[in-house]
Structure 1
Amino acid sequence: MATYLDTPRHTSRSLSDDDMALVHALQVNGRASFREIADALGISDQTAARRWSRLRSAGRLRVLGLTDPLRLGDSIWLVRVRCTPDAATSLGEAMARRPDTTWVHLSSGGTEINCSVRTRGPGLEESLLLQKLPRTPQVVDVSAHCSLHMFFGRHLSPINKRGPLSPAQVAALTPPDAPAERATESAPPVTLDDSDRHLLDLLARDGRAAPADLATATGLSPSTVRRRIAELRAAGALYFDVEYHADVLQQSFRAALWLEIDPSHLAEAGATLAAHPEVAFATAVTGTANLYASIDTTTAQSFYRYLTESVAALPGLRHTATSPTHRTLKGPGPYLPPRP
């Protein structure tokens, strides 16, 4: 789950219950048909289509077809860039425009940029961004931490934890080609050809693009498009996520949480952390701080309670470090959303 740029386009800070049900449905299955959504929610397909069109045209959400780096043999690095205060915004915006970055945040009073960088293969050698950053005059320090095991993320967001749909509705919407995580972790990387890459690039811009439109753009037949999307999804290489405008789900206080956990308790602590309603993303990483999470709470006071109660109770906890986030420059996909 992610948000759009934090520049507000709306005065409302919440959605109606009906709209939130639609959002939850799309998070469960971003390519569900309006008939499937309507059947699960107990509404007409015209109503489902109308609600989606209104929310999308207002820039409040979009569905993205994204790829799992590990299933393609790539790596994800969580990068922390400390820079001079006058350079953080411009440097962060430049990083957000790059297709190899996601989750670009300004934090720590505007002196730090936190982002996710995707590299081809397991190492940092292929990343032009990480080669350039240390030589940028305004950059004070760069540290990179490889994501080793994701406990919460990809197609899951906080709405999967606190959304309005019942378990039966979620089950009805869950796509039949959704892979089992353990089944894909040990599988060999998925091989893509040029038509696959073109198809995935289009889905990264619009995850609900019609098969006919995708067929026209790629030169494939609609049936081939449908089949290949199903195959890539079943292999765990392709998943669908919803990118939200800041006024949909985002709460008032956000922070990055870096935890040092005793290695013998890392798996247990990560699974426990992932179940917390405050956690929007959690992964094991390399480095002294070996567990990272993105936290979303209502106030600074609720964040304090979360730290002193839920986080303090994690097994094997040795040390915590926090970094408040005050602006999101880019969400989960490789491309920034189109301006209204």
Structure 2
Amino acid sequence: MLDDLDRALIHALHLDGRAPFSRIAEVLGVSAQTVARRYRRLRTEAGLRVVGLTAPDRTGRAQWLVRLTATARSAQDIAGALVRRPDTSWVKLTSGGTEITAVIHAPAEDASPGSLLLRDIPRTGGITAVSAHCLLHTYLGGPAGWRGRTEALDERQQRALEYRTPAAGAGDGEPPGPSAPSGPEYVHDTDGIRQPGREDAELLAVLARDGRAGQGELADATGWSPTTVARRLAELRATGALFFDVEVDAALFGVRTQALLWLSVRPADLERVALALAGHDELAFVAATTGRTNLVAQALCRDPADLHRYLTRRLGALREIDALETSPVLRTLKAGSPAGVFRPRTLLP
């Protein structure tokens, strides 16, 4: 359903979500107009989206993976309410459609799951069970997620498109400019670069909706000059606090079966098993969690038989796994960006 150029463009955006179309075109050997036209088509017909996201480990935020069991009558409404919240991502209907799995983002000043778990969910009718799992460490995911969409470009092309931090004091080719506003709410890392603070909120909000928003749009949203916007973007990317991801329906790559895997591993073997899982091409996400299970992963497979082979052969070979629960993913309602709804679509011929 995707041709070679489509796959190459998606791979290029995975390497640098804000790469100019002219640079992508040069590496792919086509015109910039062709790249722009393909990008617009993928956005319209395949639901492709580049989004700017902040890294929790660099911004002091905590993430909680929540499993809700609801009555069949209320599950869809509860899932829709979670999608509309600005502090959630990866909202999925799992199992028989009566289980909802979502990630809750806790603010930097509060490592707890906040009002959603402590106040809102207990007051919601139709929910019959809740379990919350703090994500302790991510071994696979984010900018280094599923490798099935990053197989189109050769090593030379990948090197040419990988994002490189601009020289100090400049961003995206812009000359040095004044720093963005600073204040006591900012946290400095060892290099003295400000981590995201309240005054970055407008910049990050636009990027969460559209990671390829132009400098002019970002300048209008923040009230900064385009030069200041470019410099601040370069700072945040240099520290790893901001990264760009690509949201696209995995079905376009032949994935018809998805599942969340909840694993129990002996603590002494947790690191070794997690690193082994992070090397599996079938997985898009691997993280250590709190709770009755201590590892969670997401598998993307061609069909149920492919998932069965993965579970019995690759996972079955890891003797350190004591228990495994498999939750089929029926539908993804919201992807990695807290802003906006994930709309998987079928690419037209």
Structure 2 unaligned regions, length at least 5: 167-187
Structure 1 residues 173, 77: CA separation in 2 closer, same or farther (over 3 Å shift)?
Answer: same
C-alpha displacement of 1:28? 1.1
Measured in 1, the distance between the counterparts of 2:244 and 2:277 equals 23
- Which residue identity is paired with 2:221? A
Q: Taking structure 1 as reference, are residues 142 and 63 closer, same or farther at Cα in structure 2, changes over 3 Å only?
A: same
1:23-43 Cα shifts (integer Å, max 9, x gaps): 111011100111221222222
Please tell me the residue identity of whatever aligns with 2:41: R
Q: Which runs of 5 or more structure 1 residues have no equivalent in the other structure? A: 1-13, 179-183
Are 1:40 and 2:27 an aligned pair? yes
The more displaced of 39-48 and 82-91 is 39-48
Q: Residue in 2 aligned with 1:233?
A: 237
Deviations 1:238-288 (A, max 9, x none): 000111135433611111101111112211111111111110111111123
1:192 aligns with 2:193: no
- Corresponding residue of 1:67: 54
* Alpha carbons 2:47, 2:342 under 8 Å: kept: no
Q: Equivalent residues in 2 for 1:40-59 (5 A)? A: 40-59=27-46
Q: Which residue of 1 aligns with 2:170?
A: none
Tell me, in whole angstroms, the C-alpha distance in 2 between the residues paired with 1:294 and 1:217.
Answer: 36
Q: How does 1:80-159 map to 2 (within 5 A)?
A: 80-121=67-108, 123-124=111-112, 126-159=114-147
CA contact (8 A) 2:93 2:333 kept: yes
- Counterpart in the other structure of 1:256: 260
How many angstroms does 1:156 deviate by?
2.5
Give me the whole-angstrom Cα distance separating, in 1, the residues matched to 2:190 and 2:136: 14
Deviation at 1:185, TM superposition (A): 11
For residues 244 and 187 of structure 1, what CA distance do their matches in structure 2 show?
35
* Superposition deviation, residue 188 in structure 1: 10
Match of 2:14 in 1: 27
Does the CA-based 8 Å contact 1:269-1:315 persist in structure 2? no
Pair 125,94 (structure 1): closer, same or farther in 2 beyond 3 Å = closer
Query: Which of residues 290, 295, 298 in structure 1 aligns to 2:294?
Result: 290
Show CA shifts across 1:61-95 (max 9, x none).
01001111221111011100011111111100110
Please say if 1:219 is aligned against 2:223.
yes
Alignment match, 2:172:
none
Question: Which one scores higher on RCO, CA 8 angstroms, separation ≥ 6?
Answer: 1
Percentage identity across paired residues of the two chains:
44
Q: Distance in 2 between matches of 1:241 and 1:162?
A: 12
CA offsets, 1:122-175, max 9 Å, x none? 632633355321332211111111111111111123246652111222122111
Structure possessing the higher radius of gyration over alpha carbons: 2
Q: Which residue of 2 aligns with 1:164?
A: 152
Deviation at 1:194, TM superposition (A): 3.6
Distance 1:48 1:87 in 2: 43
How many residues are aligned here?
322
1:274 to 269, 273, 278: 278
Greater Cα shift, 155-164 or 194-203:
155-164
* Residues 85 and 157 (structure 1), Cα distance of their counterparts in 2 relative to 1, 3 Å cut: same
CA distance in 2, matches of 1:78, 1:230: 30
RMSD of aligned Cα (Å):
2.4
Instruction: Supply the AA of the counterpart residue of 2:266.
Output: D
Q: What is the alpha-carbon distance in structure 2 between the residues aligned to residue 250 and residue 156 of structure 1?
A: 20
**91 and 218 in structure 1: CA distance in 2 versus 1, 3 angstrom threshold:** same
3-state secondary structure, aligned to 1:123:
coil
Q: Secondary structure at the match of 2:252?
A: coil
* Separation in structure 2 between the aligned mates of residue 203 and residue 159 of structure 1, nearest angstrom: 24
1:170 counterpart SS class: helix
What secondary structure is seen at the aligned counterpart in 2 of 1:248?
Answer: helix
Identify if the C-alpha distance between structure 1 residues 36 and 250 changes in structure 2 by more than 3 Å, giving closer, same or farther.
same
Cα distance in 2 for residues equivalent to 1:294 and 1:100: 21
Q: Aligned equivalents of 1:256 and 1:232: distance in 2?
A: 31
- CA–CA distance in 1 between the matches of 2:71 and 2:341? 28
Match of 1:174 in 2: 162
Please give the TM-score of this superposition, normalised by the length of structure 1: 0.88
AA paired with 2:259? A
* Counterpart residue number, 1:10: none
Call closer, same or farther: CA 1:189–1:282 in 2, change over 3 Å: farther
- Where 1:114 maps in the other structure, the secondary structure is strand
In 2, distance between residues paired with 1:185 and 1:306? 41
Output the CA distance in 1 between the equivalents of 2:190 and 2:197.
22
Whether 1:76 and 2:63 are equivalent positions in the alignment is: yes
1:72–1:189 CA contact under 8 A, matched in 2: no
